[in-house]
Amino acid sequence: MSAPLHPPTVPDDREPELVARAREGDREAFAALYHQHVGLVYGFLLARTRDRHLSEDLTQEVFVRALRHIGTYIWQGRVFGAWLTVIARNLFLDEIGRGRSRLETPVAEPEGSGQPGQGAESPVLRAYEAVEAHETVRTALGALNPYQRHCLQLRYLDELTAEETALAMGRSVGAVKTLTHRAMRKLRSTEAVPA
Protein backbone atom coordinates (compact mmCIF):
# COMPACT_ATOMS: atom_id res chain seq x y z
CA MET A 1 0.00 0.00 0.00
CA SER A 2 1.45 3.32 -0.98
CA ALA A 3 -0.77 5.71 0.93
CA PRO A 4 0.18 9.32 1.50
CA LEU A 5 0.75 10.08 5.15
CA HIS A 6 -0.84 13.52 5.06
CA PRO A 7 -4.48 13.77 4.00
CA PRO A 8 -5.97 16.86 2.44
CA THR A 9 -6.83 19.29 5.23
CA VAL A 10 -9.92 20.58 3.43
CA PRO A 11 -12.61 18.02 2.60
CA ASP A 12 -13.69 17.56 -0.99
CA ASP A 13 -16.79 19.70 -1.70
CA ARG A 14 -18.33 16.64 -3.34
CA GLU A 15 -18.01 14.56 -0.18
CA PRO A 16 -21.70 14.76 0.91
CA GLU A 17 -22.72 13.68 -2.60
CA LEU A 18 -20.17 10.85 -2.63
CA VAL A 19 -21.38 9.62 0.77
CA ALA A 20 -25.02 9.68 -0.42
CA ARG A 21 -24.11 7.73 -3.56
CA ALA A 22 -22.00 5.25 -1.59
CA ARG A 23 -24.93 4.67 0.78
CA GLU A 24 -27.02 3.75 -2.29
CA GLY A 25 -24.44 1.13 -3.30
CA ASP A 26 -22.35 3.14 -5.78
CA ARG A 27 -18.92 1.45 -5.61
CA GLU A 28 -17.21 4.21 -7.57
CA ALA A 29 -18.35 6.78 -5.01
CA PHE A 30 -17.00 4.64 -2.19
CA ALA A 31 -13.72 4.22 -4.12
CA ALA A 32 -13.45 8.02 -4.37
CA LEU A 33 -14.00 8.30 -0.60
CA TYR A 34 -11.35 5.61 -0.10
CA HIS A 35 -8.78 7.48 -2.18
CA GLN A 36 -9.58 10.73 -0.41
CA HIS A 37 -9.15 9.30 3.12
CA VAL A 38 -6.79 6.31 2.91
CA GLY A 39 -3.79 8.51 3.78
CA LEU A 40 -5.49 9.82 6.91
CA VAL A 41 -6.44 6.34 8.14
CA TYR A 42 -3.07 4.78 7.32
CA GLY A 43 -1.13 7.65 8.94
CA PHE A 44 -3.35 7.50 12.02
CA LEU A 45 -2.71 3.77 12.43
CA LEU A 46 0.99 3.91 11.57
CA ALA A 47 1.57 6.57 14.22
CA ARG A 48 0.07 4.21 16.81
CA THR A 49 1.29 0.78 15.72
CA ARG A 50 4.70 1.84 14.34
CA ASP A 51 4.35 -1.25 12.15
CA ARG A 52 3.85 -0.67 8.43
CA HIS A 53 2.40 -4.11 7.68
CA LEU A 54 0.00 -4.07 10.62
CA SER A 55 -1.08 -0.53 9.68
CA GLU A 56 -1.77 -1.64 6.12
CA ASP A 57 -3.84 -4.60 7.34
CA LEU A 58 -5.81 -2.46 9.79
CA THR A 59 -6.36 0.25 7.16
CA GLN A 60 -7.82 -2.36 4.85
CA GLU A 61 -10.11 -3.59 7.64
CA VAL A 62 -11.26 -0.01 8.39
CA PHE A 63 -12.52 0.37 4.83
CA VAL A 64 -14.08 -3.11 4.80
CA ARG A 65 -16.04 -2.19 7.92
CA ALA A 66 -16.90 1.24 6.54
CA LEU A 67 -18.25 -0.34 3.35
CA ARG A 68 -20.20 -2.90 5.36
CA HIS A 69 -21.81 -0.17 7.52
CA ILE A 70 -21.99 2.73 5.04
CA GLY A 71 -25.78 2.43 5.10
CA THR A 72 -25.82 3.44 8.76
CA TYR A 73 -23.65 6.53 8.23
CA ILE A 74 -25.58 9.79 8.27
CA TRP A 75 -23.93 12.95 6.93
CA GLN A 76 -23.93 15.54 9.73
CA GLY A 77 -21.69 18.17 8.18
CA ARG A 78 -18.51 16.56 9.50
CA VAL A 79 -15.75 15.14 7.38
CA PHE A 80 -16.25 11.48 6.48
CA GLY A 81 -12.67 10.93 7.67
CA ALA A 82 -13.77 11.55 11.27
CA TRP A 83 -16.02 8.47 11.10
CA LEU A 84 -13.19 6.45 9.56
CA THR A 85 -10.84 7.63 12.32
CA VAL A 86 -13.26 6.36 14.97
CA ILE A 87 -13.37 2.96 13.24
CA ALA A 88 -9.55 2.96 13.03
CA ARG A 89 -9.21 3.85 16.70
CA ASN A 90 -11.56 1.04 17.72
CA LEU A 91 -9.69 -1.46 15.54
CA PHE A 92 -6.38 -0.31 17.02
CA LEU A 93 -7.71 -0.74 20.56
CA ASP A 94 -9.01 -4.22 19.63
CA GLU A 95 -5.59 -5.08 18.22
CA ILE A 96 -3.86 -3.98 21.41
CA GLY A 97 -6.23 -6.17 23.42
CA ARG A 98 -5.60 -9.19 21.19
CA GLY A 99 -1.87 -8.80 20.77
CA ARG A 100 -0.72 -7.08 23.93
CA SER A 101 2.22 -9.47 24.35
CA ARG A 102 3.30 -8.73 20.79
CA LEU A 103 3.36 -4.98 21.44
CA GLU A 104 5.19 -5.11 24.78
CA THR A 105 8.87 -5.80 25.24
CA PRO A 106 9.68 -7.27 28.64
CA VAL A 107 12.74 -5.86 30.34
CA ALA A 108 14.37 -7.71 33.21
CA GLU A 109 15.04 -5.75 36.37
CA PRO A 110 18.62 -5.87 37.61
CA GLU A 111 19.02 -8.28 40.50
CA GLY A 112 20.30 -7.02 43.81
CA SER A 113 20.71 -3.45 42.66
CA GLY A 114 19.77 -2.27 46.14
CA GLN A 115 17.84 0.67 44.69
CA PRO A 116 14.39 1.48 46.04
CA GLY A 117 11.55 0.06 43.93
CA GLN A 118 13.61 -2.85 42.61
CA GLY A 119 12.26 -5.48 45.00
CA ALA A 120 9.22 -7.71 44.87
CA GLU A 121 6.89 -4.86 45.89
CA SER A 122 7.87 -2.80 42.83
CA PRO A 123 5.09 -4.09 40.50
CA VAL A 124 2.49 -3.45 43.20
CA LEU A 125 3.76 0.08 43.75
CA ARG A 126 3.78 0.79 40.02
CA ALA A 127 0.22 -0.51 39.69
CA TYR A 128 -0.92 1.66 42.61
CA GLU A 129 0.79 4.72 41.12
CA ALA A 130 -0.84 4.04 37.73
CA VAL A 131 -4.31 3.82 39.31
CA GLU A 132 -3.64 7.00 41.29
CA ALA A 133 -2.44 8.83 38.17
CA HIS A 134 -5.50 7.65 36.21
CA GLU A 135 -7.80 8.94 38.95
CA THR A 136 -5.98 12.29 39.02
CA VAL A 137 -6.34 12.70 35.25
CA ARG A 138 -10.03 11.71 35.35
CA THR A 139 -10.71 14.24 38.12
CA ALA A 140 -8.80 17.00 36.31
CA LEU A 141 -10.63 16.36 33.02
CA GLY A 142 -13.94 16.60 34.89
CA ALA A 143 -13.23 20.31 35.43
CA LEU A 144 -13.33 20.96 31.67
CA ASN A 145 -16.32 21.52 29.43
CA PRO A 146 -17.20 18.62 27.07
CA TYR A 147 -15.51 20.21 24.03
CA GLN A 148 -12.26 20.84 25.91
CA ARG A 149 -12.31 17.34 27.40
CA HIS A 150 -12.91 15.73 23.99
CA CYS A 151 -10.17 17.84 22.42
CA LEU A 152 -7.59 16.88 25.06
CA GLN A 153 -8.60 13.23 24.86
CA LEU A 154 -8.02 13.20 21.11
CA ARG A 155 -4.79 15.23 21.28
CA TYR A 156 -3.04 13.63 24.25
CA LEU A 157 -4.70 10.33 25.12
CA ASP A 158 -5.37 9.22 21.53
CA GLU A 159 -2.21 11.04 20.33
CA LEU A 160 -3.82 12.69 17.30
CA THR A 161 -2.17 15.61 15.57
CA ALA A 162 -3.93 18.98 15.55
CA GLU A 163 -5.01 18.30 11.96
CA GLU A 164 -6.41 14.84 12.78
CA THR A 165 -8.20 16.27 15.84
CA ALA A 166 -9.70 19.02 13.70
CA LEU A 167 -11.00 16.43 11.24
CA ALA A 168 -12.39 14.23 14.03
CA MET A 169 -14.12 17.16 15.73
CA GLY A 170 -15.30 18.85 12.55
CA ARG A 171 -13.45 22.06 13.46
CA SER A 172 -10.58 24.08 12.08
CA VAL A 173 -6.99 23.51 13.18
CA GLY A 174 -7.00 26.99 14.75
CA ALA A 175 -10.11 26.16 16.78
CA VAL A 176 -8.47 22.95 18.01
CA LYS A 177 -5.34 24.83 19.06
CA THR A 178 -7.45 27.41 20.89
CA LEU A 179 -9.49 24.70 22.64
CA THR A 180 -6.28 22.91 23.63
CA HIS A 181 -4.69 26.10 24.97
CA ARG A 182 -7.76 27.10 26.99
CA ALA A 183 -8.19 23.59 28.37
CA MET A 184 -4.56 23.40 29.46
CA ARG A 185 -4.79 26.86 31.03
CA LYS A 186 -7.91 25.77 32.94
CA LEU A 187 -6.18 22.58 34.10
CA ARG A 188 -3.18 24.59 35.34
CA SER A 189 -5.45 26.99 37.23
CA THR A 190 -7.33 24.11 38.91
CA GLU A 191 -4.00 22.56 39.97
CA ALA A 192 -3.18 25.67 41.98
CA VAL A 193 -6.51 25.54 43.83
CA PRO A 194 -6.24 23.27 46.89
CA ALA A 195 -8.73 20.41 46.96
Distance, CA of 6 to CA of 41 (rounded, Å): 10
For the domain 1-102, what is the CATH code? 1.10.1740.10
| Per-residue exposure over 179-189, b if at least 16 CB sit within 10 Å of its own CB, e if not | bbeebeeebee
| Under 8 Å between Cβ of 4 and 39 | yes
- Model pLDDT for residues 67-101, shown as the tens digit of each residue: 999 988 887 777 888 899 989 998 988 887 775 44
Q: Domain ranges for the chain, please list them.
A: 1-102, 122-190
- The CA distances from residue 177 to 103, 159, 180, 183, 190, in Å, are 31, 14, 5, 10, 20
Side chain identity, residue 148: Q
> Please, what CATH class does the domain formed by 122-190 belong to?
mainly alpha
Which pTM value belongs to this model?
Answer: 0.50
- Could you list the pLDDT tens digit for every one of the 195 residues in the chain? 444 444 443 456 788 899 999 999 999 999 999 999 999 999 999 888 888 999 999 999 999 999 999 988 887 777 888 899 989 998 988 887 775 444 444 555 445 444 544 544 555 555 556 556 656 666 777 788 888 888 887 887 777 888 888 888 888 999 999 988 998 888 887 654 444
